[in-house]
């Protein structure tokens, strides 16, 4: 159950990620992880997509791809930054982003040990499946560090955290 709600200030968090560069088109290139803090989103409209894991069936085929496909629609609605987070390491997240063709359109951020997701009350315990604690499946719209929408999935699948639901929520905010 989410411990944050609409109109709350987004809890601060620091993620690691590998910024996309043309050199990463070489499959043997790895890149160097750097840090990004949520405070860098001050004054920006940000979409945060959270998935339990890179390359996992629902995340890989149904959750992330529609955001890339509708990227221009998000930009037209004033979105400055789109990120996808998971508890995977930054090299896996970068590899997933390259496989999906994200380039610099959607940042792939690592929520190490799902610590930031836990601070939101949006972690997912997949210990029984051998995956440990993961980031839950959710989407958040943030405007100038204020939460405007939280779509946390109540069960398996993609509904309230999907690209169409988030686009509709952006429309409702105007």
- Residues annotated as catalytic are 59
Pair 144, 118: CB distance under 8 Å: no
In the block, residue with structure tokens 């993961």:
134
Pairwise CA distance, residues 76 & 138, whole Å = 22
What is d(CA 4, CA 13) in angstroms, rounded to the nearest whole number? 14
DSSP state of 55: T
Cβ–Cβ < 8 Å for 153, 136: yes
Sign of CA dihedral 84, 87, 88, 91: positive
Backbone region of residue 55 per phi and psi (left: phi > 0; alpha: psi in -120 to 50; beta: other values): left
The per-residue DSSP string of 25-45 comes to GSTT-----EEEEGGGGTT-E
Residue 55 neighbours by CB distance under 10 Å: 15
């Amino acid at each position: 159950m989410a411990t944050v709600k609409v109109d709350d200030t987004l809890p601060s968090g620091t993620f690691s990620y590998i910024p996309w560069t043309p050199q990463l088109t070489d499959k043997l290139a790895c890149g160097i992880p750097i840090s990004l803090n949520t405070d860098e989103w001050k004054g920006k409209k940000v979409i945060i997509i959270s998935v339990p894991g890179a390359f996992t069936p629902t995340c890989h085929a149904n959750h992330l791809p529609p955001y890339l496909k509708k990227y221009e629609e998000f930009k037209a609605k004033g979105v400055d930054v789109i990120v996808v987070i998971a508890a995977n390491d930054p090299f896996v997240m970068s590899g997933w982003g390259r496989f999906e063709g994200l380039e610099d359109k959607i940042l792939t951020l690592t929520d190490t040990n799902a610590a930031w997701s836990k601070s939101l009350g949006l972690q997912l315990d997949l210990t029984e499946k051998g995956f440990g604690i993961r980031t839950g499946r959710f989407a958040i719209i943030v405007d100038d560090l204020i939460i405007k929408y939280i779509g946390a999935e109540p069960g398996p699948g993609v509904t309230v955290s999907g690209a169409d639901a988030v686009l509709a929520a952006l429309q409702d905010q105007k």
